[in-house]
Amino acid sequence: MEREHPHIVVLGAGFGGLEFCQRFNHPNARVTLVDRTNHHLFQPLLYQVATAGLSAPDIAQPIRSILADRPNVTVLLDSVVDFNLANRQIVLKETTLAYDYLVLALGGCTSYFGHPEWEAFAPGLKSLTDAVLIRSQILMAFEKAETTPLPHVDARLMTIVVVGGGPTGVELAGAFAELARHVLKGDFRRINPADARVILLEGGPRVLAQLSPELSASAQRQLEKLGVHVRVATKVRNITKGRVDLENGETILAENIIWAAGVSATPLTKKLGVELDRASRVKVNPDLSLPGHPEVFAVGDLAFVPDANGKPVPGVSPAAMQMAKHAARIIEDEIAHPKSASRPPFRYWDKGTMATIGRSAAVAQVGKFEFSGLLAWLAWLVIHLLFLVGFRNKTAVLFQWFYSYIAYKRGARIIVKTDS
């Protein structure tokens, strides 16, 4: 009987979980989607909120709205507490759910490489709350510098350190440099925001290590043109309040330190009782199911999946969406044809990688093609705008964003205090 009206529980409404709910199509199956927030977040533009280019609701969409036309999907705002895979149950904060199939799409979190104490001094960028916090901190630092009695303004207030030269670090550093040099121009009377120093620290030999050395070099040149101090092969030894100690013995004093160096799977994966990789990701079977649990699938940033070359599939939204679609097809097929269904292995289709560096600057790699500068930026802009528009029919964001790019205005330069 249960097999006839199977219940599929999806944990997480990121790109993977949402794609599953939109793709999965079986008339007699019920789907319950659980997320601890009420909104799906367009993560690739989160750095725009942190750097005052977009406001938080611009890149977030209520999950219920997105799935309003899917009557077989129930959305619950709740948090995962524990798994009971043996009994096919999920323990949430408010209730317990039984499932026939489970899709784990809980995503990742910022990882401090064994130094959780750094988080207090170097926030990461994973949620809207993080982004609004970073935005407020950076803007407050300029305000503090402006009110500091002359003649000596503490250079620390005007220094922003971004740790990590991956796409997020590169995008943040570029956007901060533009904020200081162009957007805030003319706003202050005592300080000159263009005096701000933006320092990008990368432990490896080059930024954007997943791209070719040529594109990495191009990205570094474009960042330096914006005024970013790019320091590769520079490892962090310790972070305390307003202070970064480097492995080479040097110390950088900075009011604002942003951590963009590491991502790991949600710590909840440790409760699954299955094998994990170093970043706490679940080592799944080729069909994305958990070893020993064919009814449980892991998709997106919390899944460790080798691609055709043995390299792990990267933690990007297209990968999460492809995995979700794969799991949806398998589950649909098994419900429709319980006897004859087969489980093909997941194959990742790499659509390319791109990172934006500033207004009209970017790098992109699509298959064998590489491009940088204005052309890459236009490609990036078109792809993200199309996505945003499709995502929430928010044509207004397009106008606003286009306007702020053209005019070097930042519409969301608002400091929100929780204590006032």
Q: Given CA atoms 370, 372, 376, 378 in this order, what sign does their dihedral have?
A: negative
List beta partners, residue 275: none
Cα 290-116-144 angle, rounded to 5 deg: 130
Considering only 104, 170, 196, 412, the residue that binds a second copy (CB under 8 A) is 412
Tell the smallest beta-carbon distance from residue 62 to a second copy (Å): 4
The yes or no reply on residue 156 touching a second copy (CB under 8 A) is no
Nearer to a second copy, 190 or 270 (CB): 190
- Spatial separation of the C-alpha atoms in residues 6 and 64, rounded to whole Å: 22
Interface with a second copy (CB under 8 A), residue from 37, 238, 317, 353: 37
When asked if residue 36 is in the footprint of a second copy (CB under 8 A), the reply is yes
Closest CB to a second copy among 293 and 392? 392
Residue 56 touching a second copy (CB under 8 A): yes
242 binds a second copy (CB under 8 A): no
Note whether 186 binds a second copy by CB under 8 A. yes
Q: Hey, CA dihedral for 126, 130, 136, 139, is it positive or negative?
A: negative
CB 207 within 8 A of CB 220: yes
Asked whether position 415 contacts a second copy by CB under 8 A, the answer is yes
Q: Which is nearer to a second copy, 38 or 285 (CB)?
A: 38
Q: Indicate which single residue of 152, 189, 278, 368 sits in contact with a second copy (rule: CB under 8 A).
A: 189
Which of 9, 39, 326, 376 touches a second copy by CB under 8 A?
39
> If phi over 0 gives left and psi between -120 and 50 gives alpha, with beta otherwise, what is residue 401?
alpha
- Which of 23, 26, 64, 329 forms a contact with a second copy (CB under 8 A)? 64
57 binds a second copy (CB under 8 A): yes
> Is the CB of 60 or the CB of 288 nearer to a second copy?
60
Smallest separation (angstroms) from a second copy to the CB of 366: 30
Give the pairing type, strands 236-240 and 228-231. unpaired
Distance CA 271, CA 274 (A): 8
Which residue do the tokens 């702020």 mark? Answer: 404
Number of residues that bind a second copy (CB under 8 A): 58
Residues 6+ apart with CB under 8 A from 261: 113, 163, 164, 166, 169, 203, 236
Written as six digits, the tokens of 368 are 């064998």
Catalytic residue among 171, 178, 202, 334: 171
- Residue closer to a second copy by CB (options 108, 169) is 108
Shortest distance, CB of residue 401 to a second copy, whole angstroms? 8
Contact segment (CB under 8 A) with a second copy among 12-20, 101-109, 136-144, 381-389 equals: 136-144
- In 63-180, where does DSSP find H-type helix? 63-66, 128-147, 167-178
Closest contact distance (angstroms) between CB of 404 and a second copy is 9
Which of residues 97 and 331 has its CB atom nearest to a second copy in the complex? Answer: 97
Is residue 394 a contact point for a second copy (CB under 8 A)?
Answer: yes
Q: Does 119 bind a second copy (CB under 8 A)?
A: no
Contact between residue 52 and residue 135 where contact means Cβ atoms under 8 Å apart: yes
Distance in Å, CB of 398 to a second copy, minimum: 8
Cβ atoms 305, 348 nearer than 8 A: yes
Angle at 346 between CA 344 and CA 351, to 5 degrees: 140
Strands of the 289-290 sheet, one edge to the other: 73-77, 30-35, 7-11, 101-104, 293-298, 289-290
Question: Does residue 400 touch a second copy according to CB under 8 A?
Answer: yes
The SS3 of residue 401 is: helix
- 171 is annotated as an active-site residue: yes
By CB under 8 A, residue 28 contacts a second copy: no
Strands ordered across the beta sheet of 361-366: 353-358, 361-366, 369-372
Residue with smaller CB distance to a second copy, 200 or 412: 412
Q: Annotated active-site positions, please?
A: 171
Q: Which residues here bind a second copy, judged by CB under 8 A? A: 36-39, 55-58, 60, 62, 64-65, 68-69, 71, 73-78, 94-95, 127-129, 132, 139-140, 143, 146-147, 149, 184, 186-190, 392-397, 399-400, 403, 409, 411-418, 420
